[in-house]
Structure 1
Amino acid sequence: MNFYKLISISRKIKSDNLKLFGVYILHILGKRHLSIRIDPSFNCNLSCRMCYFSTPEYRQNNNGIIPEQDFEHIARVLFPKALQVYIGCGAEPTTHRKYIKLIELAKQYKVPHIGIVSNGQLITDDQIKRIILTGTNELTLSCHGLTKDTFEYFMRNARFDQFISLLKKINKYKKELNSSRPEIRINYTVNQKNLSELRNFMDIIGPHHISSLQIRPVLNIGGSYSESITDSQISEYNEIINCLKNECSKRNIRLLANKTDIKYQKKNSNKKVTEAVYCYIGPKTANKLNFDWKSISFTDFTKKTQWSKKVVKMFFNDKQSSINEAAGNYDVFE
């Protein structure tokens, strides 16, 4: 299943309530309808300036791991209902030594789209091979600069040469193992200081056979740096996006770029359906909802999260989503 095609189809349906009704019907019929995001470890090996992990107070108050013995129970409860499982959602999944087991479980439960979101700095050669052999669909890697100085300035404690080496190794092992997966997606958070470097993206990253590039203006999420591009830089930003659109088209690279709402002033056009399908699991989820993964069923889980009540309310209410609205606004160029 091409999950990006599904997103494109969803965007063509203008009625939020029609999409929401479709999700509700899938739920009633016991079909797959969830986009599950899991942080197996709420820790990070880096201290990226644009991220909340860059502040000591946040690190001190937010940490923990999901015990390995809970992985199978989480999978039993949620994975049969998942269209998509992503390992990593704000924290660094590779700081959990058994994170690949979650990928293997997702494959076991036949989840159509399985991905990992990582800074890539801790991924070993053996783990690359295991990720390939599990049939992982997508590996999303953070890259917030295209020179050594900028990359290592924003991604503190990371090494640019290690990032480039990882890209080379992934393609090397994919070739050796005769696999087209995982596709590589690069996430680039653009700001005042790293905007101009995007002009050189294809020279630096192009040779490493990526499949997707997401460009997203920086959001203030509590990091130590949140300087968005200035009004005077917007024309340069749009020019660069247009150039990248052409270059990505030539190379069959999917481009996801926020071009129509650079300042995040519009509501998320998929707000309701995003809220309905989004399911976050982290180290504190079970405690917050007061249950044990070993004994809970999917029906119990939806009751604890009050999923049905929330969806019904959304039919008649335009209340703001608990998920950042603007973060979902980007254009998909294929």
Structure 2
Amino acid sequence: MKFYTLLNISRKIKSQPLKLIGIYLLNILGKRHLSIRIDPSFNCNLFCRMCYFSSPSYRNANKGLIPESEFKDIARILFPYAFQVYVGCGAEPTTHRGFIKLVELAQHYKVPNIGIVTNGQLLSHDQIEKLVISEVDEITISCHGVYKENYEYFMKNSSYQRFIDLLDKINTIKNQHQLSKPEIRINYTVNTKNLTELTDFFKVFKDYNISTLQIRPVLNIGGSYSEAITDHQISEYNNIIDQIKSECSIYGVRLLANRTDIKYEKKNTNKKVAEAAYCYIGPNTAKKLNLEWGNINFKDFTKKIQWRRKTLKLIFKDKETSINKAAGNYDVFE
């Protein structure tokens, strides 16, 4: 089942305990129930102003990469139980020379949904061709400005032309091989400075065969820029989302947009399900868990992270009372 179909089904099921029980039963039965997010390298080639990687102190304190020699064991342990594997989760995966190997391993284990999240600036023609030929499901590309000025302002050290060339290359190579994958998803973090130009999104990008557009208001995650949409801009934001929604319908683009919690002030109704389903692997995971990937299996891993105990606690836990700080709190329009 494709991820966006699964997401829509999940959103229709209102009972969080019911979802958690379903995930727990899938674990007992040895079925796929995890969304694996992997940072093969904790590094980035850009200094995006809204990201923690724009902070020199953060960069200095967070470094490292997963040796490619460990990829096979990570895949052996986790990929048979994953309904989704995404390479890239906060850091830039293409800073690791062997990042495509993770995609190939996910395909070997027949993971239903495989993607890569990237700023795209380092992707070579050969790497793009490998991703296309392998028919990875989705390439998610960051874009925080419709036009060159804001794109390069927010994505410091980037090239807007390189981004446009990347979109061209993906579609050209897909056409050459007569393939429909990978789909292109654009992630646009909106703020006070780049809000208005969002109205021109399809004037610029309508011919690039974008499948999904995610629009989310900026969240302060430690970057050098975090000027959120102001109260007087909320009406403008909603009007722009209405326009974008209409245009997405015309061009057959799936829209993910935060409409209900623009300032991230509401309770998080999906936090517990995310805690149970999401599994993050990074350069420091083995050290933090005091394990060696080559010496354990999936059962050992779940014991290390106390997955069953924590999930049972989530099922019977009191109603979530924390404020939602998850940037992924969006509505889906198809």
TM-score range, shorter chain: over 0.9
Which residue in 1 is equivalent to 2:98?
Answer: 98
- Aligned partners of 1:213 and 1:239: how far apart in 2? 17
CA, structure 1 residues 49+73, in 2 after alignment: closer, same or farther (shift >3 Å)? Answer: same
Secondary structure at 1:41 match in 2:
coil
Q: What secondary structure, in the 3-state scheme, does the structure 2 residue paired with 1:89 have? A: coil
Seen in structure 2, the aligned counterparts of structure 1 residues 318 and 217 have a Cα distance that, compared at 3 Å, is: farther
CA contact (8 A) 2:266 2:324 kept: no
In the alignment, what sits opposite 2:143? 143
Decide whether the 8 Å contact of 1:23 with 1:33 is kept in 2.
Answer: yes
What is the CA–CA distance in structure 2 between the aligned matches of 1:262 and 1:322, rounded to whole Å?
16
The within-5 A match list for 1:69-108 is 69-108=69-108
Measured in 1, the distance between the counterparts of 2:62 and 2:160 equals 27
Q: Does residue 192 of structure 1 match 2:189?
A: no
Q: Note if 1:153 corresponds to 2:149.
A: no
The CA deviation string for residues 215-235 of structure 1, in whole angstroms up to 9 with x for no partner, is 000000000000001011111
2:228 paired residue number: 228
* Conserved? CA contact 2:264–2:324, under 8 Å: no
Runs of 4+ in 1 over 4 A off after TM superposition: 319-325
Q: Provide the C-alpha distance between the structure 1 equivalents of 2:286 and 2:322, rounded to a whole number of angstroms.
A: 19
Cα separation, 1, equivalents of 2:327 and 2:20: 19
Contact 1:271 1:321 in 2 (8 A): no
Shift of 1:328: 3.1
Q: 2-side partners of 1:33 and 1:120: how far apart?
A: 29
| Structure 2: tracts of 5 or more residues without a match | none
For residues 202 and 94 of structure 2, what CA distance do their matches in structure 1 show?
Answer: 27
Q: What SS class does the counterpart of residue 123 from structure 2 fall into?
A: coil
- Percentage identity across paired residues of the two chains: 66
Whether contact under 8 Å (1:266, 1:326) holds in the other structure is no
CA pair 214-269 structure 1, distance change in 2 beyond 3 A: same
User: Aligned partners of 1:96, 1:131: CA distance in 2, in Å?
Assistant: 15
How far off its partner does 1:135 sit? 1.6
Change (3 A) 1:230 1:272: same
Give the conservation status (yes or no) of the 8 Å contact 2:79–2:106.
Answer: yes
Which residue number corresponds to residue 62 of structure 1?
62
* Deviation sequence 1:139-174 (CA, Å, 0-9, x none): 000000011111000000000011001000100000
Letter in 1 for 2:315: F
What is the 5 A alignment of 1:11-26? 11-26=11-26
Q: Which moved more, 1:321-330 or 1:183-192?
A: 321-330
Q: TM-score, normalised by structure 2?
A: 0.98
- Quick one: distance in 2 between partners of 1:243 and 1:126? 37
Corresponding position of 1:6: 6
Residue in structure 1 matched with residue 276 of structure 2 by the alignment:
276
Equivalent AA in structure 2 for residue 91 of structure 1: A
1:134 maps to which residue? 134
Instruction: Give the match's secondary structure for 1:211.
Output: strand
Distance in 1 of aligned mates of 2:4 and 2:270: 14
Aligned equivalents of 1:269, 1:207: Cα separation in 2: 37
Q: Give the whole-Å Cα distance in 1 for the aligned partners of 2:40 and 2:306.
A: 23
Residue of structure 2 equivalent to 1:305 = 305
The CA distance in 2 between the partners of 1:262 and 1:205, in whole Å, is: 25
Contact 2:217 2:228 in 1 (8 A): yes
Matches within 5 A, 1:253-264: 253-264=253-264
Task: Tell me how far 1:326 sits from its aligned partner.
Answer: 3.2
RMSD: 1.4
Q: Give the Cα–Cα distance (whole angstroms) in 2 for the partners of residues 108 and 32 of structure 1.
A: 15
> Can you list the C-alpha shifts for 1:21-49, whole angstroms capped at 9, x where unaligned?
00000000000000000000000000000
The range that moved more, 315-324 or 36-45, is 315-324
Distance 1:97 1:283 in 2: 14
- In structure 1, C-alpha distance between the alignment counterparts of 2:318 and 2:235, rounded to whole Å: 33
The offset of 1:121, in angstroms, is: 0.0
Paired residues of 1:269 and 1:329 also in contact (CA < 8 A)? no
Q: 1:297–1:324: structure 2 CA closer, same or farther, 3 Å change rule?
A: farther
3-state SS of the aligned residue for 1:228? coil
Aligned-partner Cα distance in 1 for 2:323–2:48: 22
Aligned to 1:29: 29
Alignment length (residue pairs) = 334
Q: CA deviation at 1:266?
A: 1.2
Q: Secondary structure at the match of 1:216?
A: strand
Where structure 1 has 5 or more consecutive residues not aligned to the other structure, the ranges are none
Secondary structure, aligned partner of 1:76: helix
